[in-house]
Amino acid sequence: MKRSKRLSATFVNTVNVPGRYGDGRGGHGLSLLVKGASTGGFFKSWAQRTRLDGKAANVGLGAYPVVTLARARQKALANARIVSEGRDPRDRANRVPTFEQAVETVIGIHAENWKDGGKSAGQWRASLRDYAVPKIGAVARQSG
């Protein structure tokens, strides 16, 4: 199957030959990986090849069609910016909140629905601050 140097949405949707297909120059290392699926058909996923601390590294960007070509390009550009700042886009600390941060987010979401004029929000904050945050406040969610 002949294709242009840059990926197109049509190509991504119809490609049925296993392999890795790059997005050409200026694609920030974006590629589509096509594998045969055990149930028949094909599994397609996005990856980005980049250099971190002088070493080649792959960054997974998600599976097609959940992650479209346009979204994969956005993610690749965002990761390229992170790398240019000297950071690692795979670093979960950049994306996953700590327990303490999550507590504030969840209380903020629910506080407006509590009927006691904010008393519950204060009680939740105090209880979690006194008992849970000292133990696990700095812990980010673990994968798995």
Q: Measured between alpha carbons, how far is 37 from 79 in angstroms, rounded to an integer?
A: 28
Give me the torsion for CA of 112, 116, 120, 123, rounded to 10°: 140
Tens of pLDDT along the chain (144 residues)? 555 589 999 999 999 999 999 998 778 999 999 999 888 889 999 999 999 888 999 999 999 999 999 999 999 999 999 899 888 888 765 566 778 888 888 888 888 788 887 788 888 888 888 988 888 867 665 544
Which domain, by its residues, includes 117?
96-136
- Is omega for the bond preceding 97 within 30 degrees of 0, making it cis? no
Nearest in space to 108 (alpha carbons), one of 120, 95, 93, 96:
120
| 101 and 122 fall within a common domain | yes
What is the distance between the alpha carbons of residues 113 and 63, in angstroms, rounded to a whole number? 37
CATH number reported for the structural domain that contains residue 14 in this entry: 3.30.160.390
Residue 20 CA to residue 3 CA, distance in Å, equals 13
Residues 13 and 74 in one domain: yes
